[in-house]
């Protein structure tokens, strides 16, 4: 008599309590594994991009008028400053000095670079003796630096020097901005990134190009090619 086909044998009718407890979870994981792994990968990529490449920020105040308005949404990139230093005119996001006890980030414009000799007087900023030409500010500063209304700079004389690895940053709305003239120089290690693009509101989309200061370039050319003095060679 030929053996019976196992497939034709009657299957035992086990109570539900005796079925393998892992059968349901295994089938769910097999069907959803690809979706779960895709979600985890997306989260890891999003975290990595936000931490090391770029992130979105929004403007909570009017300190950068007229360049940035309250509610603007920006893309801040974090890569370039790993290979080069901030440039004059960059709009940077940074953690404020610890003494301010502020839980959040600031956004200001880089004005003074390490080693710059500066002063602010009569509504003008002087960098190494040259008045800075700025067409992006809301109004000229109505204070002098050094001076009583510039507590961030406590030196004697008419000029001050930006320390190594530090920057003098200011809001474009000069007379309504908590910036370096109030709390002092910004350590380079506090900088988060450089503002490159405004993506909201849609009618004000804008890429932020590197700011040019021809008057300071002219000064650098003069330093490289000094004019011979009378009687000199």
Give me the catalytic one of 108, 166, 177, 180: 108
Per annotation, catalytic residue among 8, 31, 63, 166: 63
Do you know the residue count of the chain?
Answer: 233
Q: Where are the alpha helices (DSSP H) in the chain?
A: 23-52, 180-183, 214-224
Are 139 and 175 within 8 A, CB to CB? yes
Our CA angle for 176, 180, 181, nearest 5°, is 65
Please indicate whether residue 63 is annotated as part of the active site: yes
Task: Please check whether residue 177 is in contact with residue 170, taking contact to mean a CB–CB distance below 8 angstroms.
Answer: yes
Q: Which two tokens stand for residue 65?
A: 């008028």
Q: What is the spatial distance between Cα 89 and Cα 55, in angstroms, rounded to a whole number?
A: 20
Hey, what are 208's tokens?
A: 């932020």
**Strand, helix or coil at 66?**
coil
Confirm whether 16 is a catalytic residue: no
Q: Catalytic site residues?
A: 63, 108
């Amino acid at each position: 008599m030929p053996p019976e086909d196992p497939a034709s044998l009657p299957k035992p009718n086990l109570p539900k309590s005796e079925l393998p407890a892992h059968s349901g979870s295994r089938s769910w994981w097999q069907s959803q594994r690809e979706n779960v792994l895709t979600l985890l990968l997306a989260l890891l990529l999003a975290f990595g991009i936000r931490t090391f490449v770029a992130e979105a920020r929004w403007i909570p105040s009017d300190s950068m008028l007229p360049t940035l308005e309250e509610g603007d949404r920006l893309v801040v990139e974090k890569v370039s400053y790993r290979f080069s230093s901030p440039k004059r005119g960059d709009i940077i996001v940074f953690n404020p000095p610890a003494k301010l006890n502020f839980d959040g980030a600031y956004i200001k414009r880089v004005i003074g670079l390490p080693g710059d000799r500066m002063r602010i007087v009569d509504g003008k900023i002087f960098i190494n003796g040259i008045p800075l030409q700025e067409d992006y500010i809301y109004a000229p500063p109505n204070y002098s630096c050094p001076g009583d209304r510039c507590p961030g700079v406590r030196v004697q004389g008419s000029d001050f020097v930006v320390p190594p690895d530090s920057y003098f940053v200011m809001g474009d709305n000069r007379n309504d901005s908590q910036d370096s003239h109030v709390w002092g120089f910004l350590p380079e290690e506090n900088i988060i990134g450089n503002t490159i693009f405004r993506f909201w509101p849609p009618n004000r989309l804008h890429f932020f190009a590197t700011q040019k200061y021809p008057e300071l370039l002219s000064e650098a050319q003069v330093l490289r090619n000094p004019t011979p003095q009378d009687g000199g060679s």
